């Protein structure tokens, strides 16, 4: 399976984030995206949020209504497995290069994506690696849907 971008998402604050065809990302974040709570979101080390599609698929199989963009991620990636990504991992796209800085702890604002509001199902503390990730920008650029990427550990 090729490592591919399945979706790109932005919002003017809150969730769900809505799909876009391409997304310019620099050290200040994703163009057209805004966070309501800057204490916990955004900034250079949290310029972009991503999640692996295999996590969404597994949660769907368990009956959760999680969808692309519904947990506040900017990039949905496919072609990697849980455990491929951790702090220090670099993802290289055609133009963009990002480095994972930390997990993105879930909060109640994404509870509608989970049966009975169980948003902690994507808590790295409770379920290591089953999470969204924050990243900083190493090389700014535009990323596009269906674009391939490479993981460098």
pLDDT, tens digit, 9 for 90 and up, residues 113-128: 999 999 999 999 999 9
Entry pTM = 0.95
Distance between CA atoms of residues 47 and 26, nearest Å: 8
Question: Which CATH number covers residue 109?
Answer: 2.40.33.20
How many domains is the chain partitioned into structurally?
1
Q: Whole-number mean pLDDT of the chain?
A: 94
Cα distances (Å, whole numbers) of residue 73 to 1, 49, 98 = 22, 5, 14
Q: pLDDT higher for 1 or 113?
A: 113
- pLDDT tens digits for 59-96? 999 999 999 999 999 999 999 999 999 999 999 999 99
In a domain, 139, yes or no: yes
In a domain, 33, yes or no: yes
């Amino acid at each position: 399976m090729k490592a591919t971008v399945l979706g790109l998402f932005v919002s003017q604050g809150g969730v769900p984030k809505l799909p876009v065809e391409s997304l310019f990302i620099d050290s200040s974040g994703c163009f057209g995206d805004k966070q309501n709570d800057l204490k916990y979101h955004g900034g250079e080390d949290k310029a972009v949020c991503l999640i692996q599609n295999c996590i969404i698929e597994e949660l769907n199989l368990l009956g959760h209504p999680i969808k692309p963009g519904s947990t506040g991620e900017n990039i949905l990636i496919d072609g990697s497995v849980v455990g491929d990504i951790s702090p220090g991992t670099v993802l290289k796209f055609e133009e963009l290069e990002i480095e994972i800085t930390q997990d993105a702890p879930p909060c109640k604002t994404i509870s509608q994506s989970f049966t009975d509001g169980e948003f902690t199902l994507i808590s790295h503390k409770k379920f290591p690696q089953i999470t969204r990730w924050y990243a900083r920008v190493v090389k700014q650029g535009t990323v596009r849907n269906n674009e391939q990427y490479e993981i460098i550990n």
